[in-house]
Amino acid sequence: MPKAAIAADKLNRWFGVGEARTYAVKEVSFEANWGEMLYIVGPSGSGKTTLLSMISGILRPNSGSVAIDGRDLWSQSDDEIADFRLNTIGFVFQDYHLFPRLTTAENVAIPLILQKRNWGEALSAATQCLKIVDLADKAQLPPTKLSGGEQQRVAIARAIVHQPRILVFDEPTASLDGETGRKIVSFVKAEILTSKRCIIMVTHDSRIFEYSNRIMEMEDGRITGFQQGQTV
Amino acid sequence: MKQILILAYKLLVNDKGKYFALLVGTTFSVFLIVQMTSSFAGILTKASATVINIGASIWVMDPAATNSVLSNVPMPDYVLDAVRSINGVKYAVPLYSGTALVKLRDGTYQAVSVIGLDDSSLVGRPKLLEGDIDDIFAENGFIVVKDEEFPKLENPKIGTDFELNDYRGVIVGIATVPTGALYGTPTLYTTYYRAITYIPSMRFTISYVLVQPKADSDIPYIKQQVTRLGYLALTNHEYQNAISSYLEYKTSIGTNTLLMTIISFLVGLSICGQTFYTFIIENLEHFGALKAMGAKGRELVYVILFQAGFTALVGYGLGVGLSTLLITAAKLRLPEYTSRLTYTNLSLAFLMVLIIASISGYAGVRRVLRIEPFEIFRG
């Protein structure tokens, strides 16, 4: 039986101490599979981003476990977890976090640079990825010269340039108009998602629900249900 | 590692405004430090001008007078004989060093330094540009040093005469010396006998006994024997150090230079520290993003240390270059400008700029290591 891409078991994360302790995520268990595009949806403060951080190796849970392709994530050392983020995860942040002082191609090449790949080789691979997102002609521009949609595509190119198996999107359409948002998510599903890849997307943009395989709903730090994407 | 340092370099220099501010701060600081210490080094060298120019191996003097060649305490003649009798002394000769007022042909008076060389050997004589050294034995013969003070004697030529304590003096030679004097007075060389004759002196007349040892290994013994006589024998280098120590620790020159150097350092530190810290704070989210993407803490430390170190090195180069330009230009316009770049000055400035970079980098490292990628994720 193939192992799940992500298997979270009884994850808990709280902030504060004593009476001020607040649960951001409480007793959350779920699995995401290879070839699946799983949405995590819910109102603000429902724990979506905290959960996303715990399954992508960014935030250590207070209790519970996360297994990636069968391997326990949080029992590893800090350096191993950093390596896991670098080699296995591709991040698309809500605010993109592109570097304004670098060119678009250099921005995309950053994960390869962190992997200590040759600078020229990294730029070449980055340019290839920019072709995939249809931005090859903007490779030498700084990201500040690009539109919001173009910046989002640069962020996607950066997330896939090092061929990660898991892609994590945090509110990818929050800063985009409806049409651009739909185009980008449609593109991600058609071009980026493969049977060997898993995409987790946190969103509350119902306009893009149709592209998901499965939707996990959260409220007050708990999972309240799962639905098939197209049926929502 | 190299790839990450290239990334660090691009993140630094592509932020032109901040990078320029950092360079200005470092360059200005290095410039001030080098200027202050070079001026001080120039003063120290010029204060030892006579010691350097005479070039004797050992200087015997009264122990109470080691501050400056001009503030000597004359010694009795028997000291010369006693020193000559010490084993290991190849030869020993007297030297007169003092000041006098000369009356120029236009009737004005000018202070001069007078060096009286041993009549029989002329040990310590300067290199002549014009004239014949033997003419120093001619009646009223003086040799004038052609340095930055030379015009104060109305640019004398061979044959120019002047008056010194009702004695006539005649310029018989024009000489050059390795180092100009600090005190702003022209220098005249004559024979020892003529010097003590023309210039009123105390009961004793020998300012210094210049000693040439037979071998360097004889120096400790000679020094010991001179001490037993109740006098002090210093090697050329030791005497220069003694004069430097006096200026460094017993006059306001050293203290003021030290204070100005510290102020320059603090100015540089505050400008660079503040600008670099602001640079780090403004890029904090990017460092957080790098951390989230898998950069390890130590790699971010390398990035910051590289940026601080690179800025420090470029600023150091620019600061030293600017100082060199200014000193060179100033010396072309003002020959008496007292400034000298030494390896010690450059090393001190380098050390200080490294401290500036380290403190600036440390503040940035602390901030970056504390950032949690989760904060970036949360936006």
Task: Say what the pLDDT of residue B333 is.
Answer: 82
> Could you give the CA distance from residue A73 to residue A52 in angstroms, rounded to a whole number?
13
> Could you give the CA distance from residue B219 to residue B299 in angstroms, rounded to a whole number?
57
> Could you give the CA distance from residue B294 to residue B368 in angstroms, rounded to a whole number?
14
Cβ distance of A86 and B292 shorter than 8 Å = no
Distance of CA B268 to the CA centre of its chain: 23
Cβ distance of B373 and A82 shorter than 8 Å = no
Which domains are delineated in chain A?
35-60+76-231 (3.40.50.300)
Strand, coil or helix: B192? helix
| Helices B2-13 and B297-333, axial angle in degrees (round to 10) | 60
Q: Is B223 exposed, middle or buried (0-12, 13-18, 19+ CB in 10 A)?
A: buried
Q: What is the residue type of B97?
A: S
Contact A7, A182 (CB under 8 A): no
Alpha carbon of A50: minimum distance to chain B alpha carbons (Å): 8
Nearest to B11 among A82, A99, A170 (CB): A99
With an 8 Å Cβ cutoff, the interface of chain B facing chain A consists of 1, 3-4, 6-7, 10-11, 14-15, 285-286, 288-297, 299, 372-374, 376-379
Among B1, B2, B7, the strongest candidate for a mutation testing the A interface, having the largest count of A CBs within 10 A, is B7
What does the pLDDT average to over B41-61?
Answer: 89
List A residues 124-163 in contact with B (Cβ-Cβ < 8 A). Answer: none
Among B293, B296, B299, B375, the strongest candidate for a mutation testing the A interface, having the largest count of A CBs within 10 A, is B293
Cβ distance of B15 and A114 shorter than 8 Å = no
Contacts of A85 in chain B (CB under 8 A): 292-294
Q: What is the residue type of B333?
A: R
- Going by the DSSP 8-state scheme, the letter that residue A191 receives in this structure is I
Cβ distance of A101 and B299 shorter than 8 Å = no
pLDDT tier, B69 (very low <50, low <70, confident <90, very high otherwise): low
Q: What percentage of chain B has pLDDT greater than the value 90?
A: 51
> Could you give the CA distance from residue A152 to residue A180 in angstroms, rounded to a whole number?
10
Q: How many CB atoms lie within 10 A of CB B139?
A: 9
Contact B179, B147 (CB under 8 A): no
Nearest Cα residue to B139 out of B170, B174, B175, B95: B170
Q: Does residue B106 carry a pLDDT above 80?
A: yes
pLDDT tier, A232 (very low <50, low <70, confident <90, very high otherwise): very low
Distance of CA A147 to the CA centre of its chain: 21
The highest-confidence range among A34-43, A202-211, B1-10, B258-267, by mean pLDDT, is A34-43
Task: Say what the pLDDT of residue A89 is.
Answer: 92
Q: Name the token pair of B325.
A: 């330009």
Own/partner long-range contacts of B237-240 (Cβ < 8 Å, ≥24 apart): B239/B48, B239/B51, B239/B59, B239/B66, B240/B48, B240/B51, B240/B52
Nearest Cα residue to A109 out of A169, A157, A167, A170: A157
Q: Is B281 exposed, middle or buried (0-12, 13-18, 19+ CB in 10 A)?
A: middle
| Helices B252-282 and B236-249, axial angle in degrees (round to 10) | 70
> Could you give the CA distance from residue A147 to residue B29 in angstroms, rounded to a whole number?
42
Task: Say what the pLDDT of residue B26 is.
Answer: 87
Q: Does residue B65 carry a pLDDT above 80?
A: no
pLDDT tier, B134 (very low <50, low <70, confident <90, very high otherwise): very high
B372 in the Ramachandran plot: left (φ > 0), alpha (ψ -120 to 50) or beta? Answer: beta
Each residue's pLDDT tens digit, A29-46: 999 999 999 999 998 889
What does the pLDDT average to over B241-264?
Answer: 84
Cβ distance of A79 and B299 shorter than 8 Å = no
> Could you give the CA distance from residue B373 to residue A172 in angstroms, rounded to a whole number?
18
Find the residue in B nearest to A61 (Cα): B374
Q: What are phi and psi of A193, to 5 degrees?
A: -70, 125
Each residue's pLDDT tens digit, B316-363: 999 999 999 999 998 888 767 778 888 988 998 899 888 888 888 888
pLDDT tier, B379 (very low <50, low <70, confident <90, very high otherwise): low
What is the average pLDDT value for chain B, to the nearest integer? Answer: 89
What does the pLDDT average to over B26-52?
Answer: 87
Q: Does residue A141 carry a pLDDT above 90?
A: yes
Task: Say what the pLDDT of residue A2 is.
Answer: 65
What does the pLDDT average to over B132-153?
Answer: 92
> Could you give the CA distance from residue B188 to residue B134 in angstroms, rounded to a whole number?
15
> Could you give the CA distance from residue B112 to residue B109 in angstroms, rounded to a whole number?
10
Cβ distance of A82 and B296 shorter than 8 Å = yes
> Could you give the CA distance from residue A63 to residue B272 in angstroms, rounded to a whole number?
44
Of B279 and A86, the structure prediction assigns the larger pLDDT to A86
> Could you give the CA distance from residue A166 to residue A160 in angstroms, rounded to a whole number?
9
Nearest Cα residue to A110 out of A152, A159, A149: A159
Cβ distance of A94 and B379 shorter than 8 Å = yes
Contact B346, B31 (CB under 8 A): no
Nearest Cα residue to A157 out of A212, A57, A90, A203: A90
Q: Which residue's structure tokens are 């000193």?
A: B327
Among A101, A115, A201, the strongest candidate for a mutation testing the B interface, having the largest count of B CBs within 10 A, is A101
> Could you give the CA distance from residue B258 to residue A198 in angstroms, rounded to a whole number?
65
Strand, coil or helix: B264? helix
Q: Which residue's structure tokens are 């007022």?
A: B101
Task: Say what the pLDDT of residue A36 is.
Answer: 92
Cβ distance of A106 and B10 shorter than 8 Å = yes
Alpha carbon of A30: minimum distance to chain B alpha carbons (Å): 21
Q: Does residue B42 carry a pLDDT above 90?
A: no
Is the CB of residue A116 less than 8 Å away from at least one CB of chain B? yes
Cβ distance of A86 and B293 shorter than 8 Å = yes
What does the pLDDT average to over B125-142?
Answer: 93
Cβ distance of A117 and B15 shorter than 8 Å = no
Alpha helices in chain A (DSSP H): 48-55, 78-88, 104-114, 119-132, 148-160, 178-187
Q: Is B187 exposed, middle or buried (0-12, 13-18, 19+ CB in 10 A)?
A: buried
Q: What are phi and psi of A53, to 5 degrees?
A: -65, -35
Cβ distance of A119 and B296 shorter than 8 Å = no
Contacts of A83 in chain B (CB under 8 A): 294
CA atoms within 13 A on the CB side of A229: 18
Cβ neighbours of residue B369 closer than 8 Å, sequence gap 6 or more:
B297, B300, B301
Task: Say what the pLDDT of residue A149 is.
Answer: 85
Cβ neighbours of residue A84 closer than 8 Å, sequence gap 6 or more:
A57, A68, A73, A76, B294
- Going by the DSSP 8-state scheme, the letter that residue B250 receives in this structure is S
Q: Does residue B129 carry a pLDDT above 60?
A: yes
Task: Say what the pLDDT of residue B3 is.
Answer: 85
Edge-first strand listing for the sheet containing A6-15 = A22-32, A6-15, A63-68, A71-72
pLDDT tier, A231 (very low <50, low <70, confident <90, very high otherwise): very low
Q: Does residue B127 carry a pLDDT above 90?
A: yes
Alpha carbon of B372: minimum distance to chain A alpha carbons (Å): 8
Q: Name the token pair of B179.
A: 């180092």
Q: How far is CA A87 from CA A155, A161, A162, A166, B75, in A?
A: 16, 11, 7, 9, 85
Each residue's pLDDT tens digit, B273-304: 888 888 888 888 888 899 999 999 899 999 99
Contact B215, B222 (CB under 8 A): no
Nearest Cα residue to A113 out of B302, B5, B299, B4: B4
What is the average pLDDT value for chain A, to the nearest integer? Answer: 89
- What is the rounded end-to-end Cα distance, in angstroms, of chain B? 29
Each residue's pLDDT tens digit, A159-170: 989 989 999 998
Task: Say what the pLDDT of residue A208 is.
Answer: 87
What does the pLDDT average to over B218-235?
Answer: 95
Q: What percentage of chain B has pLDDT greater than the value 70?
A: 98
Contacts of A91 in chain B (CB under 8 A): 292-293
pLDDT tier, B190 (very low <50, low <70, confident <90, very high otherwise): very high
Find the residue in A nearest to B13 (Cα): A101
> Could you give the CA distance from residue A96 to residue B223 in angstroms, rounded to a whole number?
78
